[in-house]
């Protein structure tokens, strides 16, 4: 099932294409060839590879077959910059992407320009509906890689003893911060809810894994009005959270012991007040009132158990978020780091409040992705698309958990209440945090 574009007119698509592609280049601006080549771990990819792969996507899935006069930039790139599409053919091993010293960054940028020129010519002609939908998919795919570009650079620079900054800290984007108060608890009634994207009635783009829309039955529940903060995570550490096996799932405890976890990823001195951590602006003191980030599902689950609560299901999260404006601290703010909960939001005391406009949860969008308790599996009636595009999401529906809401590295305009991100439970290099939930009855 291919999603329909929000607007299939060539003019609007041309402008959107140009804007997304320019944003990717802006994120890579100032990187040296070495910065863009090195791969810091198997889960991350070099910036140069992100720049090339997103270009390969348009060349492979839009230009090929749609533009008879188009000539590929370099036939070898089909092997180098394929990610996981087995239907396309063989590909360079993921864990060896950092060994691609050639092509150079300059050559990759020339490749982008070559494909962009061809795309501009194609967008000057009427597009068939299916091709327009594939192009819109490519734009959202590139926005996903914009976020990965940032998180992968953070992991790369964190391995450097010099702790280099990717960008100076944007002070103008900071929020006033005070010591976090206990979060409010917002109550939601139980009942039958419709969840997921409805491609027949909802306008705009959605990934195939967001549908079909279907009914779920939820028991009454309460959701914390804000994400868990750095200060609260410090309490978890001080109380022996990383040393108490009873708090952890078996695989989580094995990971804690094997990898020596004592704090979230990038924290450098968790016992200090306040702790410091590596950020995209270099090593910075963490705001106690800002949401904790870079924790795995295992850590989020252990914290919830320590707090006497639980993680919400992805359906509970969606029900709580779907009437809220999709606004928050996204990558476009320039902060590139989670910010404190806005004043007068999410810190109303421990009482439960009825759901509604006056008691809406804060920071549901942006700042940190929020782990859910839900495994990433197919919705009832899900069918992957035919061909290589069908490999986009469906083949990963195993052993991963759903995250919701986006982060400070997510591009604005990329999210929906139905958006399902997913990662393995041990992974924590993304801006991932958590929000607590509990049963109401």
pTM: 0.93
For the cut 80, the answer to whether the pLDDT of residue 349 exceeds it is no
For the cut 80, the answer to whether the pLDDT of residue 271 exceeds it is no
| Final residue of a structural domain among 158, 193, 224 | 158
State residue 354's pLDDT score: 45
Are 305 and 395 contained in the same domain? yes
For the cut 90, the answer to whether the pLDDT of residue 216 exceeds it is yes
4 occurs within a structural domain:
no
CA 57, CA 112: separation in Å to the nearest integer?
11
- 122-138, pLDDT tens digit by residue? 999 998 888 999 999 99
Are 116 and 213 contained in the same domain? no
166 occurs within a structural domain:
no
- Tally the domains of the chain: 2
pLDDT band for position 67 (50/70/90)?
confident
For the chain, the first-to-last Cα distance in angstroms comes to 39
Q: Give the other-Cβ count within 10 Å of 68's Cβ.
A: 5
| Final residue of a structural domain among 96, 130, 158 | 158
CATH of the domain at 250: 3.90.1580.10
- 226-244, pLDDT tens digit by residue? 999 999 999 999 999 999 9
Which H or E run contains 214?
A: strand 214-218
CA 137, CA 152: separation in Å to the nearest integer?
22
Are 112 and 183 contained in the same domain? no
For the cut 60, the answer to whether the pLDDT of residue 350 exceeds it is no
Are 213 and 121 contained in the same domain? no
Q: What is the mean pLDDT of residues 138-165?
A: 97
Structural domain that includes position 131: 10-158
Are 113 and 213 contained in the same domain? no
State residue 5's pLDDT score: 41
184 close to 227: Cβ distance less than 8 angstroms? no
192 occurs within a structural domain:
yes
Tell which residue, 345, 351, 382, has the closest CA to residue 365: 345
Tell which residue, 131, 202, 180, 149, has the closest CA to residue 31: 149
Q: What is the DSSP letter of 227?
A: P
Are 223 and 149 contained in the same domain? no
What CA–CA distances, in Å, run from 321 to 28, 188, 328, 431?
32, 12, 13, 19
For the cut 90, the answer to whether the pLDDT of residue 393 exceeds it is no
Q: Give the other-Cβ count within 10 Å of 342's Cβ.
A: 15
Are 151 and 176 contained in the same domain? no
195 close to 319: Cβ distance less than 8 angstroms? yes
State residue 2's pLDDT score: 37
Are 256 and 382 contained in the same domain? yes
Query: 């139905």: which residue's tokens?
Result: 418
Are 101 and 176 contained in the same domain? no
Beta bridge partners of 276: 285
Are 175 and 145 contained in the same domain? no
């Amino acid at each position: 099932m291919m999603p329909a574009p929000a607007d299939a007119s060539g003019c609007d698509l041309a402008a959107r294409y140009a804007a997304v592609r320019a944003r990717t280049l802006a994120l890579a601006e100032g990187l040296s060839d070495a910065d863009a080549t090195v791969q810091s771990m198997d889960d991350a990819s070099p910036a140069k590879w992100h720049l090339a792969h997103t270009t390969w996507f348009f060349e492979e899935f839009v230009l090929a077959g749609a533009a008879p006069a188009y000539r590929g930039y370099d036939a070898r790139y089909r092997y180098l910059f394929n990610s996981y599409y087995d239907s396309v053919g063989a590909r360079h091993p993921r864990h060896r992407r950092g060994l691609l010293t050639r092509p150079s960054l300059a050559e990759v940028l020339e490749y982008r320009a070559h494909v962009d020129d061809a795309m501009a010519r194609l967008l000057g002609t009427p597009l068939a509906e299916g091709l327009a939908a594939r192009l819109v998919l490519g734009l959202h795919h590139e926005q996903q890689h914009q976020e990965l570009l940032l998180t992968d650079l953070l992991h790369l620079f964190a391995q450097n003893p010099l702790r280099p900054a990717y960008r100076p800290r944007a002070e103008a984007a900071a929020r006033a911060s005070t010591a976090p108060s206990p979060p409010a608890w917002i109550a939601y009634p139980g009942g039958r809810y419709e969840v997921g994207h409805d491609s027949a009635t909802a306008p705009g783009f959605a990934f195939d894994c967001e549908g079909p829309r279907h009914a779920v039955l939820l028991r009454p529940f309460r959701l914390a009005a804000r994400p868990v903060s750095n200060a609260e995570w410090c309490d978890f550490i001080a109380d022996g959270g990383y040393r108490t096996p009873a708090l952890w799932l078996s695989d989580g405890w094995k990971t804690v012991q094997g990898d020596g976890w004592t704090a979230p990823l990038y924290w450098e001195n968790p016992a200090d007040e306040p702790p410091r951590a590596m950020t995209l602006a270099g090593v910075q003191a963490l705001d106690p009132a800002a949401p904790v980030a870079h924790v795995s599902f295992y850590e989020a689950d252990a914290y919830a158990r320590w707090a006497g609560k639980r993680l919400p299901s992805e359906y509970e999260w969606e029900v709580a978020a779907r009437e809220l404006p999709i606004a928050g601290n996204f990558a476009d703010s320039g902060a590139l780091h989670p910010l404190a909960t806005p004043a007068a939001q999410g810190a109303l005391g421990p009482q439960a409040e009825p759901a509604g406009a006056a008691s809406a949860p804060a920071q549901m969008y942006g700042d940190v992705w929020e782990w859910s308790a839900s495994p990433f599996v197919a919705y009832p009636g899900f069918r992957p698309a035919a061909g290589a595009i069908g490999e986009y999401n469906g083949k990963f529906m195993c052993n991963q958990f759903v995250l919701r809401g986006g982060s400070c590295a997510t591009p604005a305009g990329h999210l929906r209440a139905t958006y399902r991100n997913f990662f393995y439970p041990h992974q924590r290099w993304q801006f991932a945090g958590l929000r607590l939930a509990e049963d109401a009855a």
